[in-house]
Structure 1
Amino acid sequence: MSGAILSSGQAAWMLFGAFFSLLLLRVPVSIALGLACLPPLIIEERLWPMILLQETFNGFNSFILIAVPFFLLAANLMNIGGITDRLVRFSRAIVGHLPGSLAQINVVLSIFFAGISGSSTADAASQSKIFIDAQRKEGYDDSFSVAITAVSAVLAVIIPPSILMIVWGGVLTVSIGGLFLAGVIPGLLIGLAQMATVHAYAKIRRYPTYERATLKEFVASFLVSVPALMTPFIIIGGKIFGWFTATEAACIAVLYAGALSILVYREMDLKGLRLAFSETGRLSAITLFCVGTASAFGWLLAYYKIPEAMLSGVIAWDMGPIATGFFIAFVFLVVGCFLDAIPAIIIVGTILQPMAEHAGMHPIHFAMVSIVSLAFGLVTPPYGLCLMISCAVAGIRITDALKDTMIMLVPMLAVLALLIVWPDMALLLPRLLEPDFLK
């Protein structure tokens, strides 16, 4: 940058070198991002260290990001208030007769849970406690149980409402309502791919199958689950029809989940309510602090024009939308292995956005390719947060579950490739239901 002591290349080496060095020393990602910002702020005459605090605060001082703790609170209220138990019962009535019944229920519950919580880590934590020990008792291999629980949990960041979609929309100025609609078809297709994988495993390994639910059992489980199943329709429908914003939708999800837990199902007491609030506060603090330090890191990237310098050669390749989509997916698949999804969106998403625009990718299509690619990082080492959670609950090493996890990712990669080649997978619902979201 003109007048700056450091060039774009020097600043990039300093920022990324410090960041990855701190990661190797096992410094938490959010703190590593903040500390990596300090050397340029100290060296550069026009900057000073207090900018780190200023930009960190600016990063999470956003009305849109208020939705993050509210969606986390809604997920915790669901788990403690008995809503999840009703959804398990209904899931069993739907797919309990398929091969590998308990694992099929695991996937279907993840689809339902994704439509309410928006948090894959909350999904992984709750479902690991519900399913891993139960599958172990029914003769499922530990590696398979952990793998399907972790892999199905990633649906929560793809099927709306998704915390990653909220962060993406706020940082890159993309319609959150459009992103919510765009995630429905890819998320359901990935869920079906996971169910097909479970079917194949169950046939090969002879996993148990339940009897088909009777019509009476199906209707009873459906009726008791209707209040819980209404949550995603309230959230997404209200956003589509303009009744409330994404943040207001999150608040309504909390009120609705609280009313179900306390007044309808009557399974939450004051102790459970206090636990839900304390767990939400802990997870929200971690998430939003990561958003703040990543924003400061991103501000320095913009100050030194590092994205332009990094992409100048790639843009010159003049790739079309499909080739660009595969390149973007590859970058996010690699980055997701080492970096949490939220800082990856703020840092890498802003770097790749000009490239996507140059190739003619629609902003919502670009967002969905990126978010789906980042979802893989939740189960791929060395980061793999959902896989780590599931392995911790099961009491096994990550390496023991890695083979089955990688096998389960293959059909999901096929869906990602289809999403890149066929943009209408993401754009069809926004175009049909609310064309204004595409503008």
Structure 2
Amino acid sequence: MTGALLSPGQAALVLFGIFFGLMLLRVPVAFALALACLPILIIEPRLSAMTLVQETFNAYNSFILLAVPFFLLTANLMNVGGITERLMKLSRSMVGHFPGGLAQINVVLSFFFAGISGSSTADAASQSKIFIEAQRREGYDDSFSVAITAVSAVLAVIIPPSILMIVWGGVLTVSIGALFLAGVIPGLLIALAQMATVHVYATLKGYPTYPRDSWRTFFKSILASVPALMTPLIIIGGKIFGWFTATESACIAVLYAGFLSIFIYREMDSSAFREALVDTGKFAGITLFCVGTASAFGWLLAYYQIPKAILSGVSAWELGPIGTGFFIAFVFLVVGCFLDAIPAIIIVGTILEPLARSAGLDPVHFAMIGIVSLAFGLVTPPYGLCLMIACSVAGIRMRQALKDTMIMLVPMFLVLALLIVWPQVALFVPSLVSPEFLK
């Protein structure tokens, strides 16, 4: 950075000013990040516009990131191959007799789906098509249907195997196996909080409940779903016990989902397979393009030592581990409202990592605070991608579902606070299974 034309403050003003200006003009995030880099690359004598291309493609030179399209393909194969249908029947036999039966099934299916796909957007798209119209026919309010579908979809970034965990582990050099294990208890607590919220809504508004299934039906549903439920065990178990890497586990998940769809459930034909490939290509292209341009943006932040300049004042506050945890959560909550989670990890995660380390936070604990906080951004405007998808399927405006969405986020905030105050919520399972993953 010696001899740079711009100071860290000037560079930060240009980068963030142009980026947020373009966001206000509704320029897609990935393009806004790239365009924000260009003026500095042109002005700075030691850099050139080619640096943007080089740093973008350097980000793709990552074996770990290959896991992203494979997990997305696994989710799409589930949808077209009959796996989701079996999991839905199991969910109904488990919780259909609870108040608000169909909404309870929505949450439990999202929990199961999260353990296989790792993608909240894929979950939101598939669950919206399955549940919103069905809940509308059963007398549920549109705002409630959209809210619970969108909010339950965020479980996919918290419960392993999460794409955000893979990106975080690759960018900040944290054990992905430890992150997979750390997401189990927070994900379960958030799912239970969502089910409790549905219970209260259903009781107050008189939403319908299904008759309790017989034990025979329940065990038949389990038997039919066992092959599908083996998928997360194969993915997570293989990674934890060192049988294969995160990327190899994603490839195995695709092969296993394809095997189930073709040979066990026999519901996937060539046209359905082609549809799954096309959808995967679209989602993966968007996701990875964001990774590339965010990496170029993050490279410029590092070049000008902007993170060091930003945190120099915060470190003097001496917040302690809990205060630092709440500060980190606040930053990610705000950033998540405007920025996709993956570029937020690459840009903001790298800025806050030295602060977390200086406060004594375990890297895995810091990662889980960041990931859970960023999950809120998937359903909060103006970004709110999962909420946007659910509203689009329901044919309503985002503001119509906002009140119920905010109410459903309150129990999630309590879980986040518990995670910050009591690190063992995230660290208990990793310390029990593989303590060598922790610092």
TM interval, short-chain normalised: over 0.9
Matching residue of 1:191: 191
The answer for the alignment partner of 1:46 in structure 2 is 46
Partner of 2:258: 258
- Equivalent in the alignment of 1:154: 154
Following TM superposition, where does structure 1 have runs of at least 4 consecutive aligned residues deviating by more than 4 angstroms?
none
Tell me the secondary structure at the aligned position of residue 5 of structure 2. coil
Question: Could you say which residue in structure 2 is the equivalent of 1:343?
Answer: 343
CA contact (8 A) 1:160 1:236 kept: yes
Amino acid of the residue matched to residue 70 of structure 1?
F
Aligned to 1:212: 212
Separation in 1, partners of 2:159, 2:282 = 24
Q: How does 1:2-401 map to 2 (within 5 A)?
A: 2-401=2-401
Give me the whole-angstrom Cα distance separating, in 1, the residues matched to 2:231 and 2:414: 30
Residues 305-338 of structure 1 show CA distances to partners (whole Å, capped at 9, x for unaligned) of: 0000001000111110100000000000000000
What SS does the corresponding residue of 2:98 show, helix, strand or coil?
coil
Contact 1:369 1:416 in 2 (8 A): yes
**Hey, what's the Cα distance between the residues in 2 that align with 1:320 and 1:252?**
42
TM-score by length of 2: 1.00
Amino acid corresponding to residue 122 of structure 1 in structure 2:
A
CA apart distance, 1:257: 0.3
Is the 1:60–1:289 contact (alpha carbons within 8 Å) kept by the matching residues of 2? no
TM-score by length of 1: 1.00
Q: After superposition, give the CA deviation of every residue in 1:136-183 in whole Å (9 maximum; x if it has no partner).
A: 000000000000000000000000000000000000000000000000
3-state SS of 1:226 partner = helix
| 1:191 partner SS | helix
Q: Deviations over 1:197-216 (max 9, x none)?
A: 00000000000011111010
For 2:252 and 2:434, how far apart are their aligned partners in 1?
Answer: 22
1:422 aligns with 2:422: yes
Q: Quick one: which amino acid aligns to residue 50 of structure 1?
A: M
Q: Cα distance, 1:26 vs. partner?
A: 1.1
Q: Counterpart amino acid of 2:69?
A: P
Distance 1:215 1:9 in 2: 65
Counterpart in 2 of 1:410? 410
> CA separation in 2, counterparts of 1:242 and 1:350?
27
Distance in 2 (alpha carbons) for counterparts of 1:242 and 1:354: 29
Alpha-carbon distance in 1 for matches of 2:121, 2:286: 12
For residue 119 of structure 1, report the CA deviation from its aligned partner: 0.1
Aligned to 2:432: 432
Tell me the amino acid that sits aligned with residue 199 of structure 1: H
Residue 140 of structure 1 aligns to a residue in which SS? coil
| AA matched with 1:103 | A
CA distance in 1, matches of 2:362, 2:219: 42
Q: Which amino acid aligns with 1:32?
A: A
1:19 Cα deviation from its structure 2 partner: 0.6
1:179/1:368 contact within 8 Å kept: yes
- Alpha-carbon deviation of 1:2? 2.7
1:32-67 deviation line (CA, Å, top 9, x unaligned): 101110111111111111000000001122000000
Q: Deviations over 1:47-98 (max 9, x none)?
A: 1110000000011220000000000000000001010000000000000110
Distance across 1 between alignment mates of 2:140 and 2:352:
42
AA paired with 1:271?
S
Distance 1:2 1:295 in 2: 22
